[in-house]
């Protein structure tokens, strides 16, 4: 049994099918939940937390049935919602203590735990300030702290990097990794930025129109494609000149943006041939790199073949 399991999970809002018979099994570690707007990510999280009911199907979180054991699930699961939910006229320390108390911790344990989690998320200094005066980055950290307040076994993080600048985003991603790897808390994290999920997730689940498009280890999404990418520089159209000369030597290649994509598996002399060709045609070779898959490729595969599963 996984951390999260669903069988035929369906949610309809009137005519709209937000989730259509979802069969899913998610294990321990950090799992990225990906999908375009409207794919059903928030609906899935809300059903798993017992905030809304499924129309059909079943699901278990940490082995507990969502319909019969919602209360047990909420004691074991933390939730960082996407939208700002922090009371502006409350200090972070009081808010996190309150959330820990709501989850059943006694007063002393709640105070200790709140101080700990606020330190872990980097708000030790600012914990006595009113949250209304916090920056977006500090608010995201406070939301994360309240999700961790009761020492959950699993946290749902809905768009934790929303609204953050690049440096704050890096900090938040480092925290997400730390929660999964150092604290041993399983994480289900959503983000529109697929590159972020590649960095922090062990596993990625892709939803599309309420259906499961793919569920794989992140390494499978990002494995070596067997293609080479090269970048050349020179007078005129160096890319076309180089591509034509490679093709004339029997090397399958085509442009990919500013790069040339080369598909010549098994050619042991390929790097030498590329270098010599660049010298022959008088273009500068900027780089030769192995091509790696991206999570977003799954959407292109699906558009091309009807299904990528």
Give me the residues that bind ligand ATP (CB under 6 A), please.
Answer: 13, 16, 18, 35, 37-43
Rounded-to-integer distance, Cα 187 and Cα 103, Å: 19
Q: How far is the CB of 206 from ligand ATP (least distance, A)?
A: 11
For 199, residues 6+ apart whose C-beta sits below 8 A from its C-beta are: 173, 177
Q: Where are the beta strands (DSSP E) in the chain?
A: 4-13, 16-26, 30-34, 56-61, 64-65, 77-80, 154-158, 186-190, 203-208, 211-217, 224-233, 252-256, 259-263, 284-292
Pairing of strands 30-34, 203-208: parallel
CA 18 to chain centre: 20
Give me the least distance between CB of 34 and ligand ATP, in Å please.
9
Q: Which long-range contacts (CB under 8 A, 24 or more apart) does 246-253 make?
A: 246/273, 246/274, 246/277, 249/273, 249/277
Least spacing, CB of residue 10 vs ligand ATP, in Å: 12
Residue 196 beta carbon to ligand ATP: minimum distance, rounded to whole angstroms: 14
Q: How far apart are CA 60 and CA 125, in angstroms?
A: 39
Nearer to ligand ATP, 3 or 33 (CB): 33
Cα atoms found within 13 Å of the Cα of residue 109, Cβ hemisphere only? 10
Nearer to ligand ATP, 190 or 241 (CB): 190
> Which CB atom, from 126 or from 158, has the smaller least distance to ligand ATP?
158
The strand ranges marked E within 38-122 are 56-61, 64-65, 77-80
Nearer CB in complex with ligand ATP: 28/82: 82
State which residue, 72 or 162, has the beta carbon closest to ligand ATP: 162
In this complex, which beta carbon is closest to ligand ATP, that of residue 83 or of residue 305?
A: 83
Q: Using an 8 Å Cβ cutoff, are 154 and 76 in contact?
A: yes
Q: Which is nearer to ligand ATP, 11 or 113 (CB)?
A: 11
CB of residue 247 vs ligand ATP: minimum separation in angstroms?
A: 42
CB-based contact 123:149 (threshold 8 Å): no
Phi-psi region of 267 (alpha: psi -120 to 50; beta: other; left: phi over 0): beta
Q: Return the number of the residue (19 or 123) whose C-beta is nearest ligand ATP.
A: 19
Q: What is the DSSP letter of 73?
A: H
Q: Which is nearer to ligand ATP, 160 or 243 (CB)?
A: 160
Nearest distance from C-beta of residue 71 to ligand ATP, angstroms: 23
- Residue 252 contacts residue 258 (beta carbons within 8 Å): no
Least distance between ligand ATP and beta carbon 3 (Å):
20
- Residue 128: strand pairing partners: none
Min dist. Cβ of residue 24 to ligand ATP (A): 14
For the CB of residue 214, give the shortest distance to ligand ATP in the complex, in Å: 15
């Amino acid at each position: 049994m996984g951390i999260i399991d669903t069988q035929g999970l369906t949610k309809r809002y009137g005519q709209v099918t937000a989730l259509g018979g979802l069969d899913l099994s998610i294990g321990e570690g950090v799992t990225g939940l990906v999908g375009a707007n409207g794919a059903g990510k928030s609906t899935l999280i809300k059903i798993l937390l017992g905030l809304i009911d499924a129309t059909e199907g079943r699901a278990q979180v940490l082995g507990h049935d969502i319909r019969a054991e919602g209360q047990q699930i909420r004691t074991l699961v933390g939730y960082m919602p996407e939208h700002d939910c922090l009371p502006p006229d409350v200090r972070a320390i009081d808010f996190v203590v309150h959330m820990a108390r709501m989850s059943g911790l006694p007063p002393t344990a709640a105070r200790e735990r709140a101080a700990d989690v606020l330190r872990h998320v980097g708000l030790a200094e600012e914990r006595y300030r009113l949250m209304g005066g916090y920056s977006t980055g500090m608010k995201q950290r406070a939301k994360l702290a309240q999700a961790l307040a009761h020492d959950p076994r699993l946290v749902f993080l809905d768009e934790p990097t929303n609204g953050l600048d690049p440096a704050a985003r890096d900090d938040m991603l480092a925290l997400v990794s730390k929660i999964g790897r150092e604290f041993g808390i399983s994480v289900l994290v959503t983000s529109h930025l697929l590159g972020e999920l590649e960095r922090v997730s062990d596993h990625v689940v892709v939803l599309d129109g309420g259906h499961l498009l793919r569920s794989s280890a992140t390494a499978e999404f990002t494995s070596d494609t067997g293609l080479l990418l090269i970048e050349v520089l020179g007078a005129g159209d160096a890319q076309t000149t180089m591509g034509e000369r490679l093709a004339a030597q029997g090397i399958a290649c085509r442009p990919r943006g500013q790069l040339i994509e080369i598909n010549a598996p098994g050619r042991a002399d390929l790097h030498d041939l590329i270098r010599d060709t660049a010298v022959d045609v008088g273009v500068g070779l900027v780089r030769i790199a192995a091509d790696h898959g991206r999570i977003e490729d799954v959407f292109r595969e699906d558009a091309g073949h009807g299904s990528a599963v």
